[in-house]
């Protein structure tokens, strides 16, 4: 059975800081979100941004 993702993120990069203090928290992350999934349950940082 083949399913199609409701949303997809491809090669996501997230950096903090600049210059010598730059840190890559995410580097080339790819993820598919299935229809009906709830990514807000993945961690406190996401839940904190929800009312």
> What integer pLDDT is reported at residue 34 of this predicted model?
83
Domain that includes residue 19, residue range: 7-48
Indicate whether 2 belongs to any domain: no
- pLDDT at residue 3, rounded to an integer: 67
Whether 11 maps to a domain, the answer reads yes
Instruction: In whole angstroms, give the CA distance from residue 40 to residue 14.
Output: 18
Assess if residue 30 is contained within a domain: yes
For CA atoms 35, 50, 40, 15, give the dihedral sign. Answer: positive
Nearest to 32 by CA among 2, 6, 3, 1: 6
> What's the domain count of the chain?
1
pTM equals 0.54
Write out pLDDT tens, residues 1-51: 456 888 889 999 999 999 999 999 999 999 888 887 766 655 555 444 445
H helix and E strand count, the chain: 1, 2
């Amino acid at each position: 059975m083949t399913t199609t993702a409701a949303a997809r993120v491809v090669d996501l990069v997230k950096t903090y800081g600049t210059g010598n203090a730059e840190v890559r928290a995410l580097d080339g992350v790819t993820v598919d979100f299935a229809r009906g999934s709830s990514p807000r349950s993945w961690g406190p940082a996401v839940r904190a941004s929800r009312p």
